[in-house]
Structure 1
Amino acid sequence: MGKTADLTTVQKMTIDTLKKEGKTQKVIAKEVGCSQSSVSKHINREAKGRKRCGRKESTSKRDKRALERIVKQNRFKNVGEIHKEWTVAGVSASRSTTHRRMQDMGFSCRIPCVKPLLNKRQRQKRLAWAQDKKDWTAAEWSKVMFSDESKFCISFGNQGSRVWRKTGEAQNPRCLKSSVKFPQSVMVWGAMSSAAVGPLCFLRSRVNAAVYQEVLEHFMLPAADQLYGGDDFIFQHDLAPAHSAKSTSTWFKDHGIPLLDWPAYSPDLNPIKNLWGIVKRKMRDARPNNAEELKATIKATWALITPEECNRLVDSMPRRIAAAIQAKGAATKY
């Protein structure tokens, strides 16, 4: 982006704001995402009071409002579909003009975030839970042991969508992405506190109430001793059938372990979900050939998790709760 005319309205407004804050042109260019010369030209143009030359825009403010309504009605349409609806509404503009106007409004085409579908009742329960926990302190959250299961696959299909290659290297093995029809995978159970992570458990079968209670007996209790010693703690797990079974509830009562009440479909409120993401990112360059090598890689990566990473994730709980309250129980960014 080397021309001032290529800057969008949002970028120009951002440049003006950062300039008033006293930021340098180099810093402004980095934050806005354009060249330093574009920033300099825009600032000089504004200082001299020069207006943009060229042909006047063919679309009016009314046309732009109509375009914004079309985009907001269904944000998953492509530019061609949006352009067609806009022209049907009586606006005479090319497809490229439609795209430019959308960019001027601040719209960008991005990969959507995937979140669980929440109905009204589930949102209300999430909101009620967040309001109940909004006054919890960092010391109270440090007493919670967060747990979860995660699936790890031997698959290199998501190692990046682009590759650097020369002409004629399309079939070069070093330039290919490998795909496996039925990749080997392992299911892992883990737990964490604000201080550290507990031991991992690799699940060999489908998790029912009986299997889950064995995991609790042989892995959760040792993790509690490791993370809390003889101190009291609160255990957290989601509402999976094996977790909410009557026999599992009885197991916790018999062992005198209190449970943290947890809203359904709330992975964004559980910091261990982000910990699994950290582990998978650290394994991005690993190339295990079978399930055993995959397990070894997971164990080695899990052992590299630092207390600082755990503490940072658990310390985010007040912010997660505040975000859930602000979203009125809907999904948050976490």
Structure 2
Amino acid sequence: MGKTADLTVVQKTIIDTLHKKGKPQTFIAKEAGCSQSAVSKHVNRKLSGRKKCGRKRCTTNRENRSLMRIVKQNPFKNLSELHKEWTEAGVKASRTTTHRRVKEFGYSCHIPLVKPLLNHRQRQRRLTWAKEKKNWTVAQWSFQMRASFVFHLEMKKGWRKGGEVHIPSCLKSNVKFPQSVMIWGAMSSAGVGPLCFLKTKVTAPVYQEILEHFVLPSADQLFEDADLIFQQDLAPAHTAKSTKSWLNDHGVGVLDWPANSPDLNPIENLWGIVKRKMRNKRPKNADEVKANVKETWASIPPQQCHKLITSMPRLIEAVIKAKGTPTKHWVHVQ
């Protein structure tokens, strides 16, 4: 950022404000996120009173402020929608100009983090659960199998500034029961188990079929003769009386679990890793999607799973520190 022209409106404002306060240029450069030479050129240009070269801007400061209000009020609108609303207010500007102004405000477009909605009672239960597990060792966490479904949903991008990734207005709240379930998978510190692709709604009988044909073989593969402790969320199919009876009859112990807490299940982060590895793939149909998922899932080494399991004590500390609210450690998969 050596040139003054590279400075955003926000950076110029920071430089002008700190310069008036008599702050040194090295300090100003650090706060504005630019080079010292850029600060020097901007300050010297203002002192010399030299007019800025180039074509006159086609939008006024008042019109620019109106666009900033639109972005703040509608952070999940795409660029075309922002441009339409801005021009409908009487502003004559191209789509390119709209994009340029939004970037000058310091905004960039990102897929928002998705965090679960938690009421006070759920936060308290998460906090209590975390305190009960505070002294658990990595070894205790290792003798467990984690399982979850991953859902295929469309996620719209949203506008935010640097450092705003976790503020409430830049987050999306996930729904607990999306319309279509695609994949079920399980993992432990010893590695991943087989995948199950589903097209039907997950009822208690369907879930018990998954347990029969996937959980038990996975337990034999990953744990051999060791006792299995199973970790699952509190979906209705999981907590149904018939499912509880099935688990009890087959000697599968289930870890007690606070509601709406995917950030405490390491497999959620594993799904995030799978998605990142598949980011550059372009499957043409459902069969290719399944083949890509299977290939990527099979390529995950046991060391990666063990690393996720060893993070559990740190996650427990994060929940306690956050007083039961969602932590920053969860990678939600869409």
TM-score (norm 2): 0.63
For the structure 1 residues 330 and 300, does the alpha-carbon distance in structure 2 shift closer, same or farther, using more than 3 Å as the test? same
1:137 is the counterpart of 2:132? no
Q: Distance in 1 between matches of 2:200 and 2:74?
A: 43
Match of 1:48 in 2: none
1:275 is the counterpart of 2:275? no
Q: Distance in 2 between matches of 1:232 and 1:54?
A: 78
**Aligned residues of 2:185 and 2:196 also touching (Cα < 8 A):** yes
Q: State the Cα deviation string for residues 23-71 of structure 1 (Å, max 9, x = none).
A: xxxxx98x985347458x69xx9xxxxxx9699xxxxxxxxxxxxxxxx
For the structure 1 residues 8 and 193, does the alpha-carbon distance in structure 2 shift closer, same or farther, using more than 3 Å as the test? farther
**Aligned residues of 1:242 and 1:248 also touching (Cα < 8 A):** yes
Which residue type is aligned with residue 34 of structure 2? C
**Aligned residues of 2:109 and 2:157 also touching (Cα < 8 A):** no
Q: Distance in 1 between matches of 2:322 and 2:72?
A: 22
Q: For 1:99-248, what aligned pairs fall within 5 Å after superposition?
A: 112-152=112-152, 187-248=182-243
Which residue type is aligned with residue 34 of structure 1? C
Q: Distance in 1 between matches of 2:115 and 2:230?
A: 25
Q: Distance in 2 between matches of 1:77 and 1:204?
A: 38
Match of 1:259 in 2: 254
Report the Cα offset of residue 228 of structure 1: 0.9
**Aligned residues of 2:146 and 2:230 also touching (Cα < 8 A):** yes
Which residue type is aligned with residue 205 of structure 2? A
Match of 1:323 in 2: 318
Report the Cα offset of residue 186 of structure 1: 6.4
Match of 1:304 in 2: 299
Q: Distance in 1 between matches of 2:216 and 2:323?
A: 36
**Aligned residues of 2:262 and 2:268 also touching (Cα < 8 A):** yes
Specify the SS of the correspondent of 1:261. coil
Q: Distance in 2 between matches of 1:115 and 1:303?
A: 28
Q: For 1:61-100, what aligned pairs fall within 5 Å after superposition?
A: 77=73
Q: For 1:278-293, what aligned pairs fall within 5 Å after superposition?
A: 278-293=273-288
Which residue type is aligned with residue 320 of structure 2? I
Specify the SS of the correspondent of 1:238. coil
Report the Cα offset of residue 204 of structure 1: 2.9
Specify the SS of the correspondent of 1:280. helix
For the structure 1 residues 7 and 307, does the alpha-carbon distance in structure 2 shift closer, same or farther, using more than 3 Å as the test? farther
For the structure 1 residues 290 and 108, does the alpha-carbon distance in structure 2 shift closer, same or farther, using more than 3 Å as the test? closer
Report the Cα offset of residue 78 of structure 1: 7.1
Report the Cα offset of residue 308 of structure 1: 2.2
Q: Distance in 2 between matches of 1:109 and 1:78?
A: 14
Q: Distance in 1 between matches of 2:209 and 2:308?
A: 27
In the alignment, structure 2 segments of 5+ residues that lack a partner are: 50-70, 76-100, 160-179
**Aligned residues of 1:159 and 1:284 also touching (Cα < 8 A):** no
Match of 2:95 in 1: none
Q: Distance in 1 between matches of 2:211 and 2:183?
A: 13
Q: Distance in 1 between matches of 2:13 and 2:299?
A: 44
Q: How many residues align?
A: 247
Q: State the Cα deviation string for residues 256-302 of structure 1 (Å, max 9, x = none).
A: 11111111111111111111111112111222222212111110111
Root-mean-square deviation (CA, aligned residues, Å) is 4.0
Q: Distance in 1 between matches of 2:297 and 2:158?
A: 23
Report the Cα offset of residue 329 of structure 1: 0.6
Match of 1:70 in 2: none
Report the Cα offset of residue 316 of structure 1: 1.4
Report the Cα offset of residue 135 of structure 1: 0.8
Specify the SS of the correspondent of 1:188. strand
Match of 1:167 in 2: none
Which residue type is aligned with residue 233 of structure 1? L
Q: Distance in 2 between matches of 1:214 and 1:6?
A: 62
Specify the SS of the correspondent of 2:254. coil
**Aligned residues of 1:186 and 1:291 also touching (Cα < 8 A):** no
Q: Distance in 1 between matches of 2:33 and 2:214?
A: 48
Q: For 1:1-40, what aligned pairs fall within 5 Å after superposition?
A: 1=1, 2-3=3-4, 6=12, 8=14, 33-35=33-35, 37-38=37-38
TM-score (norm 1): 0.63
